[in-house]
A and B are shown apart, each in its own frame.
Chain A
């Protein structure tokens, strides 16, 4: 089944003309047709447009185009509904942007197109990327392909579920507090967040501008490395993007971790982690040791303050970023007697509950009289969190932790208590605050029911090559990725 192959497997066969891009795209569409009624990863997709792109890729291949020039030629990649694709809907799974058609391409989309990718579909997400279960989508909840009574994680739930269910070869998601890594862990695929500034945010609808990053969700680490190289790079249109060289991440993958020092932060191995998750991660650490890595106990003392810091900083930034949805230039408009009434009614009708909660919290912590006690203080704690990591990286090459304290929970289980939901991000959140890179990959399953467990590897700023090397070495020594969810 062509839709089950990785990018490297597909491009080898496409290059030899053993298969066509059209066949690959059709296989994905057939899978979407077969399973998406239950998985609900896609908000929408345009089969005709996708097949036309695939046909164009086949034409290019016939005329001598190669994967050296265009690494993604003919490969179907789906996109989270938060990335701008010219002429396609851009909704962020929100009613406030219902019907909005993007007039331009995001930089990452331009890069994917230049690399020959076949881009299809709008993947479901928590509204404006705010959530950890995709239950905050204004439309419907994406289900976990391993157990459809459970959530797929969030906010890139659609991206993770689509990759895990073989509805596409790879997907792009975004990660502000763990929104790529956590759903990847819960759905059993690879998901990575690049260092802040590695990938351009131009064309990414902003949630928290100092935390957001675009990243790949894939079936294996090699594919993530390939995709990372394509989307990375300085962009003059994003003044927060960094002008640093982009290594060939896939070529740098090695199966040896001999001599690498891996840190285990004691604050991440605490009571409250599901015992099977803990066991799987401990076994993964032993495996890495067997592969030649040296395991070092480290401490990240400000870990316990990360969730609190995040929910001040991220909500504050979000309250500013979402001010633009005012019914004037685009999106939903609910008329009012005067502009204030128009804004108030439009935003009241257009935003879901979680988005409203975060806007209120963010506005509050920035407001006069509260700014110093909350926002300024949180920014200082953020410095301490970042310093914890920079100090740790003086003695270790990468850090290994569980991605999520539990496997996928049941839909509806955490929706009444926002604080419960927020705490499920506890292991992923610090990475965004510190601006470092992180990847989640499969390291086992729970037993009853069988649900994926994710191992997280954190790398230093612009340390993706080392981080991916650790992930790849572990992955190649195990068989977890060969297991597919039963969706019949």
Chain B
């Protein structure tokens, strides 16, 4: 999971495709349209088509389709368990539910892998309470600092025999001690960050960037695609 976040962050920050240049707001509108179709569609063919469209979008955004697909497949495992427990004897129900899961996840992956996190969280922070909006920014930022620290801690634990298979409870206690050190690091880091924010004149909002709302002609692509998706969902919904 940690490596997934790092991978997606790299894709979002280093990409130069049309999808990367489109504003966060237009891509969010596109994802909202896809989710509308996901929630309302009952036709496996439509959902499969939608998933294929999203894979094409990922390819045109020059996102490696294989790893992106693996990310999107993750919730299928859990959805499968749920679907299995409620199987009604038809093949349509599981296929629709699993395709819905896949399509929704692909849309989220497309959004997050083509949008740097300040642009992604800024519009969310505008409509949520300060604690939540800023919490998203600070969590995402803190995660990468913590990631390196966590990797060093796990390496040290392994090298010193902390995870040498001396019984699961003992290994887990060592994992707990490692996590305890990370908790201490998190406390110290949060105090340092607070001091830095005070020095820089923290005004109550962490991010004031407005790149997310810079509209260009390229925004017409996600917006037009979104409208097409909604129209298809309505048309197929009406037909079925």
Chains A and B bind each other: no
Give A residues with C-beta under 8 Å from B.
Answer: none
